[in-house]
Amino acid sequence: MIWAVFRKDWALLWPIAVLVTLIQVALEWASYQFGFFGVSPVAREIMRLLTPAWFIGVIALAVVVVHEDTIPGVDQDWLIRPLSRTDLLLAKLLFVAVTVCAPMLVVNIVDELAQGFPFGPSLGYAVYKELYLFVCLLVPAVALASATRNAVELVVLVAGLLLLYVVTVWLSAALLGPARCPTCETSVTWIQSLLQHCGILVGSAVVLGFQYYERRTSLSRVLLAAGVVLLVVVQLPWNVAFAIQTWLGAPLGTAPAALQITAGETTIAASTAGGRNRQDNAKRATQALLQGDVDAAVEIQQSMRRNRTVPVTFTVPLQVRGATHNEFLVVDRADFTVLDMQGVALYRGSRPEKKSAPLSTDATGTAIQTFEMPAAVYQKLRGRAASLVIDYSLTVRALVAQYKMPATGGELRAAQIGICRSDADASASIIRCRQFGRPPNCYTATLYAPDGRHNPEVRNCGSDYRPYIPSPLNIVSSAGVDLPMRDSYGVAHYDVDGSQIQDSYIVMKVYETGEHFQRRVTSPLQPE
Amino acid sequence: MPAVIETHDLAKNYGQFGALQGLNMAMPQGSVFALVGASGAGKTTTIKILLNMIAPTRGHATILGVDTRAIGPNLLSQVGYVSESQALPGRLRVEQFFDYLRPCYASWDSGLELQLRRQLRLPPSRKINALSHGMRLKLALACAMSFRPRLLVLDEPFSGLDALTRDEMIGEFLREPREMSILISSHELDEVERLCTHVAFLDEGRLLFQGTLPELREHHGGPGSSLRNIFVSMVSAARAGR
């Protein structure tokens, strides 16, 4: 029966399936033409236009095939045919797999082979991509479609769910502030994201079950709405997410136990006004809102309300011992508590930056950490001895590979970084790398002249610890840095200025993420 | 004769409205059973419950010995269904529709299919959406009969058909002796009278009568009374009594 339904759907929908495949082929062609250095404006324009067209096309195909045999209603022909519900559902999923995933698998493999990647990994990563697409995009689209009769109903349902999502985010952000999503925009966001993907998949499976086996459309729609709310509300606490990340961490570089981190005395710096006046903040909140970042907008708005008085900035010198020169520490999060002498907590806060940042130390191994507290809290502290307890979530990053390649016209193939090519224009030497899967989490590049002189090191470090491809729809990840060597305004001077670019070379250092750990440090605080 | 369809206290409410109110009915095997009633009497609701398209609010029913809530592919492969409201896949061509259905039924008779398509003059390359209402009903009928079902369910099959097409359908197809039972719902009493062996009268969700045509005439009219006259008088009496 699966085959009978599939053939019927194919007879009806083959023009759309062919169109979607043509879009896929055009996109891959454009991606290939785009090349390492992105020099083809035509390819760029084609990619810009066809990417949304492809997205709409695959979703439309998944929706239309379900709507050929709608679930809600009582007059559909399939209801009186000897079709098992399982066969009908499998026929729809098979159609989506065959018309969307199978052509894309072939096109992806051809593209990757053309780019110089070997067949084995090309096949493996392409299968991974199609599985991701199927499970995380197409199955949810099929589930949504199964709860509607036609495209109009689907659009209304999706619009309703989106509205519910925005309202839920707004409410939870207004009520909880930054605590709404402890892992958002951090290095462990991927764990929350993975959890959400699993939730979406389970929700889709439940809706498909209710629809195809029970035909309970009202209940399914309620479940979809509940799922949207849960998607926003269920958030992993930071400590849980970081514990999972710690459990996944691999030993690399110095073991955390061998690292000594101590804090010197906390110093109250001058008031900073947060660096911005109210007008700036209002502008930032509006911009965040326009970009759809509701969380950020609400946070700025709340900080404006909170900080009518200027926050007080204080700095803590951290002494780090035990790390070698081929590794460095990254601060993923720092929560602090101000305690009075009796140990009573007077204020709790976090470092304002959410993204992970290297703990940059000077030659003596000292790193200066900056925190803020409201002026009103500081006023209460005046004249009283207190202490500052900081709970750090930290990560070790260690050098794993070092490569050398010509500054222009060079090619490098290495397991850690994939295929890299170098080029140069009038102002910079450019490196672009392509690799299957996740690009290196952190790498640096330095431009050297033949005589050993070199320009400042350029660092490119991400703050995402996910162990898999960041965007599974782009299985070949791109990375790269520009190494400046000439300033057209004549302000900056570079030791390696491009005059010997043909003989110059680049040294690339690749750092990988090692173990994650938490450490508590205490610092005396003596307000003026 | 064993019953091919039985209902027990079958009821269906749409909100406060009781579309069906405790229907107890039995359709004998081999009969042509007419479910007769005015518009809104509960005929279509009964059929949709019998084919598990909707769930009853109360009571239960069996079709070919299977509880309607447990109907599966095996039972549906023995039941043909034609309805004026049936949503056929409109963008398929007639030929494609037959191609689609053929492998779904183990008992599909390709010879009978060809015969029916020829007799009904179904244009193979025309899209179903482009067919007239009458042609669409003919197509549904051809599809429903090609697999030689044990039970044929016809929900208002003559609605909107011209006289010629009605005569053609009744004369050439439905009155032919076949080994199947036919349940037909209609308010077109003249056509029903030409076809049926048994009749059930429904009014406002309630059963007024069920039995053979001779029984009906014996108890509720004279030997020459028409089905129309008996139905009108029974419904009028029932409504006056409520």
Model pLDDT, residue B158: 77
C-alpha A387: how far from chain center? 36
- In terms of residues, how long is chain A? 528
One domain, residues A139 and A156: no
Q: What is the pLDDT of residues A332-367, one digit of tens each?
A: 999 999 888 888 888 888 876 677 888 888 878 888
Model pLDDT, residue A292: 63
Residue that finishes a domain, picked among A258, A286, A309: A309
Q: Which of A10, A68, A79, A85 to mutate to test the interface with B (most CBs of B within 10 A)?
A: A79
Please tell me the distance in Å from B203's CA to the nearest CA on chain A: 22
Rounded (to 5) percent helix, strand, coil in chain B? 40, 30, 30
Instruction: Evaluate if residue A29 carries a pLDDT over 90.
Output: no
**Structure tokens of A122?**
């090309």
Q: Exposure string (b/e) for B46-81, b if CB count within 10 Å is 16 or more?
A: bbbbbbbbbebeebebbbbebebeebeeebbbbbbb
For residue A308, give the 3-state DSSP assignment.
coil
Single-letter code of the amino acid located at B176: E
Interface contact flag, A82 B81, Cβ < 8 Å: no
Task: Count other C-beta atoms under 10 Å from residue A73's C-beta.
Answer: 13
Rounded mean pLDDT, A134-146:
94
**Structure tokens of B41?**
């009497």
Residue A413, in any domain of the structure: yes
Q: Among A32-36, A140-144, A344-348, where is mean pLDDT lowest?
A: A32-36
Model pLDDT, residue A496: 84
The yes/no answer to whether this complex scores an ipTM above 0.90 is no
The mean predicted confidence, pLDDT, of chain B is: 87
One domain, residues A96 and A201: no
* Number of independent structural domains in chain A: 4
Q: What is the pLDDT of residues A270-307, one digit of tens each?
A: 554 444 556 677 777 777 766 666 667 776 776 666 55
CATH architecture of B3-78+151-241: 3-Layer(aba) Sandwich (3.40)
Contact between A17 and A10 under an 8 Å Cβ cutoff? The reply is yes
Interface contact flag, B85 A7, Cβ < 8 Å: no
Nearest to B103 among A4, A12, A84 (CB): A4
Residue A372, in any domain of the structure: no
Model pLDDT, residue A274: 46
CA neighbor of A1 nearest in space, from B101, B53, B19: B101
Model pLDDT, residue A360: 80
Q: What is the pLDDT of residues B33-79, one digit of tens each?
A: 999 988 888 899 999 999 999 899 999 999 999 999 989 899 999 99
Domain limits for position A279: 273-309
Rounded mean pLDDT, A20-38:
84
**Model pTM?**
0.82
Residue A315, in any domain of the structure: no
One domain, residues A153 and A170: yes
Instruction: Evaluate if residue A94 carries a pLDDT over 60.
Output: yes
Nearest to A76 among B72, B75, B87 (CB): B87
Model pLDDT, residue B175: 63
For residue A445, give the 3-state DSSP assignment.
strand
For residue B66, give the 3-state DSSP assignment.
strand
One domain, residues A504 and A413: yes
C-alpha–C-alpha distance, residues A133 and A473, integer Å: 7
One domain, residues A19 and A119: yes
Percent of chain A with pLDDT strictly greater than 90: 40
Residues of chain B with pLDDT under 50: none
Nearest to B89 among A4, A77, A79 (CB): A77
Q: Which of B74, B78, B83, B104 to mutate to test the interface with A (most CBs of A within 10 A)?
A: B104
Orientation angle between helical segments A41-67 and A85-96, nearest 10 degrees? 170
Model pLDDT, residue B62: 93
C-alpha–C-alpha distance, residues B224 and B149, integer Å: 34
C-alpha–C-alpha distance, residues A157 and A145, integer Å: 9
Residues 6+ apart with CB under 8 A from B233: B220, B221
One domain, residues A113 and A170: no
One domain, residues A60 and A193: no
A86 touching B (Cβ < 8 Å): no
Q: Which residues pair with A511 in a beta bridge?
A: A399, A442
The mean predicted confidence, pLDDT, of chain A is: 86
**Structure tokens of A461?**
């470090």
Task: Count other C-beta atoms under 10 Å from residue A318's C-beta.
Answer: 23
Contact between A392 and A520 under an 8 Å Cβ cutoff? The reply is yes
According to DSSP, the β-strands at B151-155 and B181-186 are parallel
Tell me the DSSP string of A44-98. HHHHHHHHHHHHHHHHHHHHHHHHTT-SSSS-BGGGGSS--HHHHHHHHHHHHII
Residue A456, in any domain of the structure: yes
Model pLDDT, residue A264: 85
One domain, residues A34 and A56: yes
C-alpha–C-alpha distance, residues A143 and A201, integer Å: 10
One domain, residues A444 and A485: yes
C-alpha–C-alpha distance, residues B37 and B60, integer Å: 21
Residue B128 phi/psi, 5-degree rounding, is -60, -35
One domain, residues A13 and A121: yes
For residue A27, give the 3-state DSSP assignment.
helix
Instruction: Evaluate if residue A240 carries a pLDDT over 90.
Output: yes
Nearest to A1 among B74, B87, B104 (CB): B104
Checking phi first, is residue A525 left (phi over 0); if not, alpha (psi -120 to 50) or beta? beta
Q: What is the pLDDT of residues B71-89, one digit of tens each?
A: 989 999 999 999 888 888 8
Contact between A251 and A515 under an 8 Å Cβ cutoff? The reply is yes
Contact between B79 and B145 under an 8 Å Cβ cutoff? The reply is no
Sequence ranges of the domains in chain B: 3-78+151-241, 89-149
Contact between B33 and B43 under an 8 Å Cβ cutoff? The reply is no
Q: Residue B28: enclosing H or E segment and its boundaries?
A: strand B17-28
Which band of pLDDT confidence, cut at 50, 70 and 90, is reported for residue A162? very high
One domain, residues A34 and A128: yes
One domain, residues A71 and A165: no
Angle (CA) B197-B201-B207 rounded to 5° is 125
Residue A287, in any domain of the structure: yes
Q: Residue B14: enclosing H or E segment and its boundaries?
A: strand B3-14
How deeply is A3 buried, as exposed, middle or buried, from its count of CB atoms within 10 A (0-12, 13-18, 19+)?
Answer: exposed
Residue A451, in any domain of the structure: yes
Q: Which chain A residues in 8-47 lie under 8 Å from chain B, judged by CB atoms?
A: 8, 11-12
Rounded mean pLDDT, A458-484:
81
Model pLDDT, residue A273: 47
Q: Which of B14, B76, B77, B100 to mutate to test the interface with A (most CBs of A within 10 A)?
A: B100
CA neighbor of A227 nearest in space, from A294, A179, A160: A160
According to DSSP, the β-strands at A458-461 and A442-448 are antiparallel
Contact between A515 and A256 under an 8 Å Cβ cutoff? The reply is yes
Instruction: Evaluate if residue A115 carries a pLDDT over 90.
Output: no
- Chain B residues within 8 angstroms (CB to CB) of chain A: 48, 51-54, 72-77, 79, 81, 83, 85-89, 91-92, 96, 99-101, 103-105
Residue A234, in any domain of the structure: yes
Interface contact flag, A8 B104, Cβ < 8 Å: no
